[in-house]
Amino acid sequence: MENYEIIYKDIEKVKDWEDIVKKVFSKCFEVEGLLDSKLYITVTFTNPENIQNINKEYRNIEQPTDVLSFPMFQKEELDKKIQENDFLYQDILGDIVISIPKVEEQAKEYGHSFERELSYMLVHGFYHLMGYDHMEESDKKEMRAKEENILNTLTILR
């Protein structure tokens, strides 16, 4: 059973992206001890117009962005669920929405591959679903270390 579902909203389906999702989430689930968890993630690939509408609706920010994450659990609740191995039923970890044109733009801007940028968006979104954020510097360091660990382990480098 896959630990994700991919939705394409107003954007062409690309098999390579699905391979990246599978590789990245498999490693994320492995590293975080979630392989037997029955948790899954919905990933939506879309365009700037759609992500701007979602950003406005849910965050009251009327501009496009690269990635949005919508976790289903608070960090403490999820940590307890993981510790107690409380995964009798399939449950959604959350939703990640990614603007593919923004990924392409940022890959060029940062001088690395599309695969690297998309992988980063997926890992970044995953850790938001796990309850991490980057509002405080200490939290940002912790989240970035986790993200870089996944990407380095997969040898998806800058």
User: SS3 letters for the chain?
Assistant: CCCEEEEECCCCCCHHHHHHHHHHHHHHHHHCCCCCCCEEEEEEEECHHHHHHHHHHHHCCCCCCCEEEEECCCHHHHHHHHHCCCCCCCEEEEEEEEEHHHHHHHHHHHCCCHHHHHHHHHHHHHHHHCCCCCCCHHHHHHHHHHHHHHHHHCCCCC
Q: Which residue has the higher pLDDT, 81 or 13?
A: 13
Domain 4-153 fold: Collagenase (Catalytic Domain) (3.40.390)
What is the predicted pLDDT for the residue at 135? 77
Q: In the predicted model, is pLDDT for residue 103 greater than 70?
A: yes
Task: Give the HSE-up count for residue 9: Cα atoms under 13 Å, Cβ half-sphere.
Answer: 18
| Residue in this structure with the two tokens 């409380």, named with its chain if needed | 86
Query: pTM (2 decimals)?
Result: 0.93
Q: In the predicted model, is pLDDT for residue 1 greater than 70?
A: no
Beta bridge partners of 44: 7, 97
Contacts of 144 (CB under 8 A, 6+ apart): 134
How does residue 122 score in pLDDT terms, banded at 50, 70 and 90? Answer: very high
What is the predicted pLDDT for the residue at 44? 98
How does residue 138 score in pLDDT terms, banded at 50, 70 and 90? Answer: confident
Mean pLDDT of 92-103: 97
What is the predicted pLDDT for the residue at 58? 94
Read off φ and ψ for residue 82, nearest 5 degrees: -70, -45
What is the predicted pLDDT for the residue at 27? 97
Mean pLDDT score of the chain, rounded to an integer? 93
Mean pLDDT of 130-156: 91
Q: How far apart are CA 104 and CA 88, in angstroms?
A: 39
Q: How far apart are CA 153 and CA 150, in angstroms?
A: 5
